[in-house]
Structure 1
Amino acid sequence: MKKQKTHWLLQLVFIFFTFLGIAQNPIIRNQYSADPSARVFGDRVYVYPSHDILATEGKGRKDWFCMEDYHVFSSDNLIDWTDHGIIVQQNKVPWVKTDSYSMWAPDCIERNGKYYFYFPSIPKDTIAYGKGFTIGVAVSDKPSGPFIPESNPIKGVKGIDPNVFIDKDGQAYLYWSSRDIFGAKLKKNMLELDSEVKTLGNLPTKGLKEGPYVFERNGIYYMTYPHVENKIERLEYAMSDNPLGPFKVMGTIMDKSPTGCWTNHHSIIEFKNQWYLFYHHNDYSPTFDKARSVRADSLSFNPDGTITKVIPTLRGIGVSSAAKEIQIDRYSKISEKGTTIAFVDALDNFKGWKTVFSKSGAWVQYNTVDFGEKPLKTVVVKALSTSGGTLEIRTKGINGNLIAEVKIPVSTSWQDIKVPVIMFKEGIQNLYVLLKENNKQVEVDWISFK
């Protein structure tokens, strides 16, 4: 009986913790995700996103945002992300209207060993709480949950996109949005307002503002927010010497989506002496921007404290291990001709992407791969080619050190082709993969070294 119980617990743990093991963008690859609130708790980064699902008959509003629960993801290296499973569900929150499917952008903060998870939704009791969104709290002893929702939402708060900031003096603040951005002090119990609600001034007056995220650096308080311009949001910021402003608008953190994804929503953290921007895009759903995916890129500051505009990348963050599957379709750079990126399976986008080489000299560059110190003897390429072809794998540029030459045989299905490494270079290298011949086409899913 004891052995059966232990086996059952091990199975539960295995199901509960899903290891994504991917560092490139998007960082969450097992589901749609959006509105990421990233937090550093201890030596790990925890990401609390909303969870987009596709509305169906009787479940959400067709062609609109549809969300019924929250997951949390964590990593200690920004490479290997763990899905800790569902932490809050719509139909298990006492005050939430159970058919609203409106569990929108959340946030989480730690205080005195407790973790407070803030989330917006639509209440079922409109007489008590009014129509539209309000914001509730769930509490846990661990950042990964389980979180226990409070019976009632926070009194005096109407809106979406909660964000919590705790200043150096211990005072906590709650921010939220409803076309404008609002802020108020929180009591030490983190469950009640401790001041009047203030509409934060000196922010743009035209267009929708939402998704506030406040942080402090070198005595400067940064109010960051998505702002609709020409029907698509860009990420902007303002600065102040007070957490409730007034703020001075400074500029743009990230331009609007070049492919037309309507929304963006973000958070900013410092982890191991590097700043990062977490945000979202519709990578897995390019034709429907209500099904989004969380991304992350590095962020930096100018000497005067202003933020350097972030250019979104596919490569993302973290150092990739050469011994793991390297998704070269999440490239750092790509040749202008002869290299394209496509979904591996048009019927299941979550299977990811492939790199298609179709011209002699076509290449991709994938930065920051750790080859370690011990010699790696072979390279494995998962590839498909109906014509056959030869790939070169190099470091130090497309004409640099030749690591391996991989002959891809003719095939109509994916194969793992394994060849010896010609030259091993230890440490962190930028990787280059290119096609040698014309009139050939080779598709690559991933490469790995052993």
Structure 2
Amino acid sequence: MKNNKMKLIFGVMLGLLAVSFVNAQNPIIRNQFSADPTARVFNGKVYLYPSHDIPTPQDKNLRKDWFCMADYHVFSSDNLTDWTDHGVIVTQTKVPWLTKINYDMWAPDCVFKNGKYYFYFPVGGRVGVATADKPEGPYTVLDKPVEGIRGIDPCVLLDKDGKAYIFTAMGRISVAKLKDNMIEVDGPVQTIANLPTKGLIEGPFAMERNGKYYLTYPHVANQIERLEYAMSDSPMGPYQPVGVIMDESPSNCWTNHHSIVNYKNQWYLFYHDRDYSPKFDKNRSVRVDSLTFNADGTIKKVIPTFRGVGLSDATKEIQLDRYSKISEKGASIALLDTADTFKGWKTIFDAQGAWVQYNAVNFAKKGGKSLQVRALSATGGSLQLKLNDVNGVVVAKINVPKSSAWTTIKVPVSAVKKGVYNLCVVSQDSKPVEVDWIRFE
């Protein structure tokens, strides 16, 4: 119990920080649990509005095996690699119309219209609105929820003509037109027809591309959620189901929830998995991977990755465990500390020729004179660092000394020309070696 209270206190302290920085591959948010990510582009940056899973408070009469969410943070990035946490923007204790505190602040959304940012959030079965002059806030919660709307997971589609439509989930997915004030519905709420009627369906995210409207949603077609989509010629439908965006998670995470955004002429899928909570899938973490379309406008299926997107700075810690490719045998990934999963992972080499490849490392200048490697080996072992792939040019030889503790090793490195490279670390013997990170100086 003491440990759980400490975790809760730690989470609250993080929420009180005005701004913090998170360097990321997948998952991209590394200082707290995060889920249900809505990504939006404002002022040349990507702003991320996720829900915030927390450990269930021990002194509350709440289900211990269920989702627990008390507030919302907002994050931003201009390179999809380095994320700024702007802190808490809305909390359940400061919603004036909420009559019961139930830790049920599910998936939110945010859009810009009329010179203001409108943040939509579900709590207590209703959809609230908070407004701000900047995408990161501060936000002011309005005195009443959106009249006529009930349910969870609001998504607001702003069409090219300036009209707005709000989608929500409550057993089925519904849509309604919003008035120009963005806080009242303009006409009846309609249930979206033609969508699956069996299995949980929730988390709508609607968007427009090339005159076509996409309604995307998590759906339990089998045992757990996968991401599916339907298309239409009109924002309110009718929609026709088309296919699957992402299959069920290999980790068996029961939920998935997502958004799709175009940033600098590339489409991205934001979603979540259970990376930092492998034994409890109600504490989730946001990921991002690239998304592409076929010529006919249909979506190509996204395969989840650890590497994610964005360039990694060669002079910062590069975590090989967030690999792009890995050998079939002799290389594996494990948590650094099972009691504190936010410490991340390590890469384990235990066979000669085993390798891990990490893509898209940016050498902004000519490659450094040395390489730092944080490693551990009870027997001592040998690795090589190669450019591009397992058959590439060797740029560093790493002899890991015998030790029972983590050691930072510094080795010379061959000059690397300015540019972006894939890196491949290859084991030279069968002596077990563990690697936390590498970094060029």
User: Shorter-chain TM-score: what band?
Assistant: over 0.9
Report the alpha carbon displacement of residue 97 of structure 1 after superposing the two structures with TM.
Answer: 3.9
Tell me, in whole angstroms, the C-alpha distance in 1 between the residues paired with 2:215 and 2:17. 39
Match of 2:44 in 1: 43
Matched, 1:444 2:431: no
Matched, 1:293 2:278: no
Equivalent pair of 1:91/1:98 in contact (CA under 8 Å): no
Q: 1:79 aligns with which of 78, 81, 98?
A: 81
Q: 1:364 aligns with which of 356, 367, 370?
A: 356
Give the alignment's TM-score, normalised by structure 1.
Answer: 0.93
Match of 1:231 in 2: 223
Match of 1:126 in 2: none
Matched, 1:67 2:61: no
Between 316-325 and 268-277, report the one with greater CA deviation.
Answer: 316-325
> What is the CA RMSD across the aligned residues, in angstroms?
1.4
Match of 2:9 in 1: none
Report the alpha carbon displacement of residue 411 of structure 1 after superposing the two structures with TM.
Answer: 1.4
Equivalent pair of 1:90/1:98 in contact (CA under 8 Å): no
Matched, 1:274 2:276: no
5 Å-filtered alignment, 1:16-31, equals 16-22=18-24, 24-31=25-32
Tell me, in whole angstroms, the C-alpha distance in 2 between the residues paired with 1:97 and 1:257. 36
**1:348-384 CA distance string (max 9 Å, x none):** 0000000011111111011111122323211111111
Tell me, in whole angstroms, the C-alpha distance in 1 between the residues paired with 2:347 and 2:97. 48
Tell me, in whole angstroms, the C-alpha distance in 2 between the residues paired with 1:39 and 1:143. 9
Report the alpha carbon displacement of residue 192 of structure 1 after superposing the two structures with TM.
Answer: 0.7
Equivalent pair of 2:251/2:274 in contact (CA under 8 Å): no
Equivalent pair of 2:371/2:411 in contact (CA under 8 Å): yes
Match of 1:128 in 2: none
Residue type matched to 1:383 in 2?
A: A
Residue type matched to 1:106 in 2?
A: P
**1:228-248 CA distance string (max 9 Å, x none):** 122300000011000000011
Match of 1:206 in 2: 198
Segments of 5+ residues of structure 2 without an aligned counterpart are 1-13
Equivalent pair of 2:368/2:415 in contact (CA under 8 Å): no
Equivalent pair of 1:402/1:423 in contact (CA under 8 Å): no
Tell me, in whole angstroms, the C-alpha distance in 1 between the residues paired with 2:240 and 2:367. 54
Q: Secondary structure at the match of 1:115?
A: strand
Residue type matched to 1:83 in 2?
A: D
Between 420-429 and 31-40, report the one with greater CA deviation.
Answer: 420-429
Equivalent pair of 1:18/1:84 in contact (CA under 8 Å): yes
Match of 1:147 in 2: 139
Q: Secondary structure at the match of 1:175?
A: strand
Match of 1:252 in 2: 244
Between 258-267 and 418-427, report the one with greater CA deviation.
Answer: 418-427
Report the alpha carbon displacement of residue 57 of structure 1 after superposing the two structures with TM.
Answer: 2.4
Equivalent pair of 1:176/1:182 in contact (CA under 8 Å): yes
Report the alpha carbon displacement of residue 158 of structure 1 after superposing the two structures with TM.
Answer: 1.1
Tell me, in whole angstroms, the C-alpha distance in 2 between the residues paired with 1:15 and 1:183. 36
Equivalent pair of 2:51/2:73 in contact (CA under 8 Å): yes
Match of 2:93 in 1: 91
Give the alignment's TM-score, normalised by structure 2.
Answer: 0.95
Equivalent pair of 2:366/2:415 in contact (CA under 8 Å): no
Q: Secondary structure at the match of 2:82?
A: coil
Residue type matched to 1:249 in 2?
A: P
Equivalent pair of 1:315/1:332 in contact (CA under 8 Å): yes
Tell me, in whole angstroms, the C-alpha distance in 2 between the residues paired with 1:77 and 1:257. 26
Could you tell me the percent identity over the aligned residues? 61
Report the alpha carbon displacement of residue 98 of structure 1 after superposing the two structures with TM.
Answer: 4.5
Report the alpha carbon displacement of residue 121 of structure 1 after superposing the two structures with TM.
Answer: 0.8
Equivalent pair of 1:342/1:355 in contact (CA under 8 Å): yes
Report the CA distance shift for 1:417/1:153 in structure 2 as closer, same or farther (over 3 A). Answer: same
Q: Aligned residue pairs: how many?
A: 427
Residue type matched to 1:50 in 2?
A: S
Matched, 1:411 2:412: no
Report the alpha carbon displacement of residue 96 of structure 1 after superposing the two structures with TM.
Answer: 2.1
**1:392-415 CA distance string (max 9 Å, x none):** 000132121111001111111111
Match of 1:109 in 2: 111
Match of 1:169 in 2: 161
Q: Secondary structure at the match of 2:93?
A: helix
Tell me, in whole angstroms, the C-alpha distance in 1 between the residues paired with 2:319 and 2:250. 23
Match of 2:370 in 1: 378
Equivalent pair of 2:327/2:355 in contact (CA under 8 Å): yes
**1:1-59 CA distance string (max 9 Å, x none):** xxxxxxxxxxx9x941111122x100000000000000000111000000001113233
Match of 1:389 in 2: 381
Tell me, in whole angstroms, the C-alpha distance in 2 between the residues paired with 1:416 and 1:212. 47
Tell me, in whole angstroms, the C-alpha distance in 1 between the residues paired with 2:191 and 2:278. 36
Equivalent pair of 2:67/2:104 in contact (CA under 8 Å): yes
Match of 2:7 in 1: none
Tell me, in whole angstroms, the C-alpha distance in 2 between the residues paired with 1:145 and 1:29. 22
Q: Secondary structure at the match of 1:309?
A: coil
**1:270-300 CA distance string (max 9 Å, x none):** 0000000000000001111100000000000
Tell me, in whole angstroms, the C-alpha distance in 2 between the residues paired with 1:79 and 1:258. 24
Equivalent pair of 1:404/1:423 in contact (CA under 8 Å): no
Q: Secondary structure at the match of 1:350?
A: helix
Tell me, in whole angstroms, the C-alpha distance in 1 between the residues paired with 2:28 and 2:86. 15
Between 274-283 and 113-122, report the one with greater CA deviation.
Answer: 113-122
Match of 1:188 in 2: 180
